[in-house]
């Protein structure tokens, strides 16, 4: 209705404008010819006047219509930003709702993951503590029931009790360390130290353990050639101990565990390679999880807590580094990490 009214107004404006132009044309002719009767009797005059009115009406109608369309377009253009703004507000609201929904879904997934993690952790820690505790209980009952009178039985069982207690202490210490690492409560004291000397000290410390398993430890690097690196020497020593002990526990008898260095510009790569059972491809991503064991019986028999590699991972992450592993089943595994050189 509004557009029809506007078109009618435009036509009226054009008609009136043409009328006044025609009237002006007649007056001009009267002045020019000086006789109104002569003008009215001439057919040519009326034909010209008709054509003038038609052309003038069409031109003026087109002119007014064009201007009106321009004004309408301007008014519409003024309203477009508000419309776009409303559209953007709706789109923004929709995006926010979608983001909130996605975040809530992620939080739910995290909560489920944490619950599963908590359940698995409690189950694992219960099992790890139960084994040595039951062993101690069994040995003590044997001694109480008369075994203490037999010196050979007494000494053997007391020695086993001592080993079980050592395992409990080892487990509790590892649990305490990994808890502190995960909470970020252990300070990393960066100092410069000789990596070659540190590795040799760890080899000397673990040499007896390796010999009991008929494993030889060797450093594939000149002992007298120092390598200066930056890190927390106590924590890096723990990393080396855990990795070498893991290599010993999973190595086949009469084989060698090799510690090697590789120079990469501003970093040094430390590698610990064993000739053991190896790790399946599907297990590689899980070996750094708490209590995860490739061969469950082998590690428990050697007194491991199941937390050694998890501790390694957290210590190296605190140094802004990563632990890497490659392995072939039946051939052995290689664990490696990097340290910043001085």
Query: How much is the mean pLDDT over the chain?
Result: 75
Strand partners, 217: 257
For residue range 96-145, list pLDDT tens digits in order. 777 777 877 877 877 776 666 566 666 666 666 777 777 788 888 887 88
Domains and CATH numbers, the chain: 2-92 (no CATH), 123-183 (1.10.287.130), 191-341 (3.30.565.10)
- 78-95 core/surface letters (b: 16 or more CB in 10 A; e: else): eeeeeeeeeeeeeeeeee
User: Radius of gyration over alpha carbons of the chain, in Å?
Assistant: 47
- Show Cβ contacts of residue 39 under 8 Å, excluding neighbours closer than 6 positions: 26, 29, 30, 33, 45
- Which CA distances in Å does 12 have to 22, 57, 60, 65, 89? 15, 10, 10, 11, 43
Give the span between the Cα atoms of 68 and 76, in whole angstroms: 12
Give the span between the Cα atoms of 287 and 326, in whole angstroms: 11
Evaluate if residue 168 carries a pLDDT over 60.
yes
For residue range 146-163, list pLDDT tens digits in order. 777 778 888 888 888 887
294, 283 in Cβ contact below 8 A? yes
CB atoms within 10 A of CB 257: 26
pTM of the model: 0.58
Given this model, what pLDDT does residue 124 score?
63
Given this model, what pLDDT does residue 4 score?
45
CB atoms within 10 A of CB 139: 21
- For 184: left if phi > 0, alpha if psi spans -120 to 50, otherwise beta; the answer is left
Structure tokens at 239: 């990393």
| 1 — pLDDT class (breaks 50, 70, 90) | very low
CA angle, 143 as apex, 138 and 146 as ends, to 5°?
A: 130
For residue range 24-68, list pLDDT tens digits in order. 555 555 555 555 454 444 544 455 555 555 555 555 555 555 565
Give the span between the Cα atoms of 250 and 333, in whole angstroms: 9
Structure tokens at 302: 């050697």
Evaluate if residue 317 carries a pLDDT over 60.
yes
Considering the chain, what percentage of its residues have pLDDT values greater than 70? Answer: 65
Evaluate if residue 242 carries a pLDDT over 80.
yes
For residue range 72-83, list pLDDT tens digits in order. 555 555 544 444
Mean pLDDT to the nearest integer, 307-328: 91
For residue range 207-230, list pLDDT tens digits in order. 998 998 899 999 999 988 999 999
Counting other chains too, the contacts that 2-8 makes at CB distance below 8 Å and 24 or more residues apart are 6/68, 6/72, 7/65
Given this model, what pLDDT does residue 288 score?
85
Q: Is 295 helix (H, G, I), strand (E, B) or coil?
A: coil
Beta strand ranges found along 128-281 (DSSP E):
191-194, 215-219, 228-231, 255-264, 267-273
Give the span between the Cα atoms of 270 and 268, in whole angstroms: 6
Please state which of the ranges 6-10, 67-71, 267-271 shows the lowest mean pLDDT.
6-10
Mean pLDDT to the nearest integer, 197-212: 92
CB atoms within 10 A of CB 326: 14
């Amino acid at each position: 209705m509004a557009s029809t009214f506007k078109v009618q107004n435009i036509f009226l404006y054009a008609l009136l404008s043409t009328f006044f132009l025609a009237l002006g044309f007649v007056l001009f002719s009267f002045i020019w010819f000086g006789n109104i009767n002569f003008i009215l009797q001439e057919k040519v005059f009326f034909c010209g006047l008709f054509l003038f009115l038609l052309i003038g009406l069409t031109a003026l109608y087109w002119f007014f219509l064009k201007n009106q369309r321009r004004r309408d377009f301007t008014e519409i253009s003024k309203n477009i930003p508000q419309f776009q703004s409303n559209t953007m507000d709706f789109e923004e609201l929709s995006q926010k709702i979608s983001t909130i929904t996605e975040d809530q879904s992620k939080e739910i997934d995290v909560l489920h993951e944490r619950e599963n993690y908590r359940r698995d952790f409690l189950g694992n820690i219960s099992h790890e503590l139960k084994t040595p505790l039951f062993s101690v209980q069994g040995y003590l009952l044997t001694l109480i029931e008369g075994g203490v009178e037999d010196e050979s039985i007494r000494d053997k069982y007391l020695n086993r009790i001592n080993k079980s207690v050592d395992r409990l202490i080892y487990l509790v210490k590892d649990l305490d360390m990994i808890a502190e690492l995960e909470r970020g409560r252990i300070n990393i004291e960066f100092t410069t130290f000789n990596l070659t000397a540190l590795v040799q000290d760890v080899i000397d410390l673990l040499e007896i353990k390796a010999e009991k398993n008929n494993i030889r430890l060797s450093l594939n690097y000149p002992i007298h050639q120092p390598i200066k690196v930056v890190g927390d020497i106590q924590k890096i020593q723990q990393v080396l101990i855990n990795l070498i002990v893991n290599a010993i526990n999973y190595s086949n008898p009469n084989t060698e565990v090799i510690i090697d260095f590789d120079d990469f510009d501003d970093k040094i790569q430390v590698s610990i390679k064993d000739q053991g059972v190896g790790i399946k491809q599907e297990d590689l991503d899980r070996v750094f999880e708490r209590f995860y064991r490739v061969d469950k019986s082998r590690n428990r028999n050697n007194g491991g807590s199941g937390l050694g590699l998890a501790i390694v991972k957290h210590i190296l992450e605190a140094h802004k580094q990563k632990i890497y592993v490659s392995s072939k089943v039946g051939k052995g595994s290689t664990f490696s990490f990097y340290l910043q050189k001085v």
